[in-house]
A and B are shown apart, each in its own frame.
Chain A
Amino acid sequence: MEATAAIAPAIEKEEKQYSYLNLGPTHPATHGIFQNVLKMDGEVIVDSQPTIGYIHRAFEKLAERRPYNQITPITDRLNYCSAPINNIGWHMTVEKLLGVEIPKRVQYLRVIIMELARITDHLICNAVIGVDTGALTGFVYMFQQRELVYEIYEEICGARLTTNIGRIGGFERDFSPKAWEKIHKFLKEFPVVLEEFDSLLSRNRIFMDRTIGAGGISVEHALNYSFTGPNLRAAGVDYDVRVASPYSSYEDFDFVIPVGKNGDVYDRFMVRQEEMRQSLSIIKQAMKNLPEGPYHAVVPEFYLPHKEDVYNNMEALIYHFKIVMGETEVPKGEVYHCVEGGNGELGFYLISDGGRTPFRLHFRRPCFIFYQAYPEMIKGSMLSDAILTMSSMNVIAGELDA
């Protein structure tokens, strides 16, 4: 790791005076499996050596042997806190390759789902910052709300955590009245809990003392490390993929990009809090202006036909067979598509040589990228701050190791 090699011990001491602490691979604070060997001077971290790859699942290699529609479940397992964003990002990448025009209604429905996913992602992250400072109660409040979102997913696609939501071209079915009812319920209940959670922590003296100035990163360093998402915005750069290169009709919506100042734990916390409020407003706008129309585009090569058609229609039967067997060929090409994931710019770099599977697929995983800065961010801080830094960056093992 380049970052670690660059770090020289701050205080010159004899080697035997330091102690080494293994933070992980399994530690209550790592929220996943990755290791940090900390070189400690008492409680102060002098140096750290991160090791990742404990749950490496070779997703990029796996994807080279899988038909396009079967890659969606792999993307679930990247950032599992906001799986729908990954799914829909992947669908959009394939649609970009195929050059499919997506109905406006589908785009709006996707926006609703993606913003719900962003809320769940930020909600977990902020609740866990609370837990790592010792305030467990807010975490439980927020988790109940995540449950409501998962029920919405369940109503739409049948799954909860690893959603595999939607299809290439749209959604497998339209949102049911019950799903809308659940979304309305969430929109009604969540803001109350969010404000309650906010009032529990954001002006709490102990919490502010703990988080302000802890684990900070400057704008220059954040940009050099190629930070994106809330972590970059907390440092003070208003880069958001939703605005910089709008996808799925994000240009239709009116929202604010919250920006922090110091890039410390508190700023990251506050940026995520505000983003949740903005996401709520986007969902409301999308629901208000939801256009009528079909819930999927016409892409018979990828969109599974209705069962009735399969039984009664020759064409549909052929497409059904080809999709299920994964024998659909795609045009040659090279596309990059990125979406604003829970943690930042989630990119899909896809090269197709015209076969049934991608020739090469690379996931730009924001977590993997900003975790490189972790040793630098915790150097010289105390153990408690290191834990907080980790949780406030929202390091998710699934996204760290593809």
Chain B
Amino acid sequence: MIAFVTYKMILVLVIFTITLAIAAYSTYAERKVAAFLQDRVGPDRAGPFGIFQPLADGLKFIYKEEIIPNVSNKLLFVFGPCIAMLTALMAGVVVPWGDTVFIGGKEYSLQITDLNIGILYVFGVVSIGVYGIMIGGWSSNNKFSLLGAIRASAQMISYEIAMGLAIIALVLMTGTLSLREITMQQAGGLGGDWNFWNVVYQPLGFLIFIVCAFAECNRTPFDLPECETELVGGYHTEYSSMKLGFYLFAEYINMFISSAVISTLYFGGFNFPFMNNLGLDHNMISIIGTIVLFAKIVFFIFFFMWIRWTIPRFRYDQLMNLGWKIMIPLAIFNIALCALISLYINR
């Protein structure tokens, strides 16, 4: 029992740390990628190549004066960023970060918990994340914040539907909601045991999912809640100090988790081609698998940034049109298609 708790504690701690570290360095990467795409140098003052920039940013946030507007609802004003941060961190629990490893003859799973409703859990937690933004925007008692919060909530709720429908098609195919099982079904790939990642079977579903993931993370082209040229800072206009930091950080954590979920659901998670043909022992493959998973995640984070610095954003009504009139019908069509195909195959 104690051994089990210790092992889980360590795992939680490690994943928590990695999540925060990746989120912190995503901010650095964002600035470097932006600089790369815009012919600039980017941050290069703090440490070699500016790699201590996230630390400097964090310190700055902590030392900034904390302003709570007098007219705000003070309790909710503090709760807003807390909820955003909490839900962002919670979603990582069910993601399988790697296969199992054998230490001293005992098998340890590199996943905090393997819920049999893994995907539903992720959805539930992400849905609560809307409250962080809504509460923050509403309690600021600022019209720009309120507009940002309204946009955010409308956007996230409508895109969640399309996202959920995209997942249903995947679940129809895999027959499970557990993220680990979905990953294991994609094991192997090229090499001896011929197998494909889900993206090959679900291209449309993947497209819908990734578009909705952009909307869920409030990234360009769906960054209406905080578009700085219209709404100043959107829902976090009134925030300062580390509370603002929490909101910004939560966005990067969400991006990280989204990338992890996309990799797991559609890109084989910790599986990699030729994994069973290399003649390595199980532990080694697990470690390489974890590295491969992180490589996939980093690629998707880069993809998020690449898009952000390339295309403009939608207008509010266009966003809603896209969500309700294109994404949802497409997702429903995808479900019907998958259902028919699986019916035909399993006949």
Interface residues, chain A, CB within 8 Å of chain B? 19-21, 27-29, 43, 130-137, 140-141, 144, 200-201, 204, 206-207, 209-210, 382-385, 387
Q: How far apart sit A133 and B220, CA to CA, in the bound complex (Å)?
A: 10
CB pair A140 B147 closer than 8 Å? no
Q: How far apart sit A144 and B39, CA to CA, in the bound complex (Å)?
A: 9
Q: A19-B143, A382-B315 are in contact. Are A131 and B229 (CB under 8 A)?
A: yes
Chain B hits for A135, CB < 8 A: 310-312
Q: A134-B221, A134-B223, A140-B40 are in contact. Are A28 and B312 (CB under 8 A)?
A: no
Closest residue of B by beta carbon distance from A214: B315
Chain B hits for A385, CB < 8 A: 315
B333 at the interface (CB under 8 A from A): no
Closest 7 CB pairs of A and B: A134-B313, A133-B312, A140-B38, A135-B312, A134-B312, A29-B229, A132-B229
CB pair A28 B143 closer than 8 Å? no
Can you list 10 pairs linking A and B with CB atoms under 8 Å apart? A20-B143, A27-B232, A28-B229, A130-B312, A132-B229, A134-B220, A144-B39, A209-B315, A384-B227, A384-B315
Number of interface residues of B (CB under 8 A): 26
Chain B hits for A29, CB < 8 A: 229-230
Interface residues, chain B, CB within 8 Å of chain A? 34, 37-40, 143-144, 147, 220-221, 223, 227-230, 232, 309-318
Question: Which secondary structure characterizes the binding site on chain A?
Answer: helix
Chain A hits for B311, CB < 8 A: 134-135, 204, 206-207
CB pair B310 A382 closer than 8 Å? no
Question: Which secondary structure characterizes the binding site on chain B?
Answer: loop
Chain A hits for B144, CB < 8 A: 21
CB pair B312 A206 closer than 8 Å? yes
How many interface contacts (CB-CB < 8 Å) are there between A and B? 74
Chain A hits for B317, CB < 8 A: 382
CB pair A43 B316 closer than 8 Å? yes
Could you say which of A28, A201, A209 contacts B228, with CB atoms under 8 Å apart?
A28
CB pair A210 B314 closer than 8 Å? yes
CB pair B232 A204 closer than 8 Å? no
Chain A hits for B223, CB < 8 A: 134
Closest residue of B by beta carbon distance from A134: B313
CB pair B38 A141 closer than 8 Å? yes
Chain B hits for A210, CB < 8 A: 312, 314-315, 318
Chain A proximity of B263: nearest CB distance (Å): 26
Q: How far apart sit A136 and B310, CA to CA, in the bound complex (Å)?
A: 8
CB pair A384 B316 closer than 8 Å? yes
Chain A hits for B312, CB < 8 A: 130, 133-135, 201, 204, 206-207, 210
Chain B hits for A20, CB < 8 A: 143
